[in-house]
Amino acid sequence: MISVFATSIRPWHWDQFYKDIQAATSHSFEIVFTSPKPPNPGMPGNFRIIHTDVKPAQAHEAAFRHCRYPYVVQAVDDIKFDPGSLDRLLDICVNQTKVIASCKYGVGETGDGTCAQTEGIFGLCGEWPHRRAANPPLAPICPMLRAFDWAMANGTDPRFGAQCGDLDLYFRLIAGGWKVVLTDDWVREKSEGSDLWRTKGQFDLRTLRSLWRDPETGDWTTSLRKGSSMYDLSTILTQNQGQVW
């Protein structure tokens, strides 16, 4: 019923990640990770490691392309969903069309990171230090949606090297009439943060802003996003495509 997918180079997170997903749903599920690392000993059969050493954003898309179930959850390896939360996301996706279902985003055990969803790249940031966007869309984080919808949007764009390709895809769906539904559950990320974000993420953030923020006002706009390329699936596991930072 549910495929949870991500890319990961941190196998020490995998066993706990599986336990947390198991607690988050009563439905059948699989976990699909792409990684240059081998599987941990004794991993369950519904936790698959697809070997690849391509750039992170591409490996993330490759993980999606190996999902088998009709509802997918885009994830990272150090997050934890509230118990039962995936069942509640699934209920939304089953009963509504054109929907992206997301938990609230938290940092650490108790931190509230929902500002990343209500403002995100449209809040007070470097290029617009004194101006908030007047019309930012709600940004899903590690959400659930139909696998068909992800594929219909041609997946993530190869111009992203490490991160932000998923958010660009969600914005494309939102611009096409999809809505984001936020539940009262939490998805929490470990508070130490991400080395990938610290070293590569800022490059992709600039790309994302260039596609969705008006350069004069800083507001959300769909006028800059003209088309989207897609990965060549025949070499998605073996050959870097698009932008590599």
* Residue ranges of domains in the chain: 2-214
Give per-residue pLDDT as tens, 37-80. Answer: 999 999 999 999 999 999 999 999 999 999 999 999 999 999 99
Beta strands 29-35 and 2-7, pairing class: parallel
* CA-based nearest residue to 186, from 136, 228, 142: 142
Across 215-244, average pLDDT: 89
pLDDT higher than 90, residue 136: no
- How far is it, in rounded angstroms, from Cα 6 to Cα 14? 11
- With respect to CATH, is domain 2-214 assigned 3.30.930.10? no
Residue showing tokens 């054109």: 98
pLDDT 10s digits, 207-223: 988 899 888 887 889 98
Q: What is the pLDDT of residue 218?
A: 78
The answer to whether the beta carbons of residues 241 and 231 sit under 8 Å apart is: yes
The dihedral over CA atoms of 68, 167, 11, 87, expressed in degrees to the nearest 10, equals: -50
DSSP structure class, residue 220:
B
pTM (global) more than 0.95: no
Mean residue pLDDT of the chain comes to 91
> What per-residue confidence (pLDDT) applies to 126?
47
**Of how many residues is the chain composed?**
245
Q: How many CB atoms lie within 10 A of CB 24?
A: 25
Q: How far is it, in rounded angstroms, from Cα 34 to Cα 56?
A: 9
Phi, psi of 62 (to 5 degrees): -60, -35
pLDDT of residue 28: 98
**pLDDT at site 202:** 80
Structure tokens given for 201 = 């993420």
Residue 93, SS3 per DSSP = helix
What is the pLDDT averaged over residues 4-22?
97
Q: Do strands 29-35 and 47-51 pair parallel, antiparallel, or not at all (unpaired)?
A: parallel
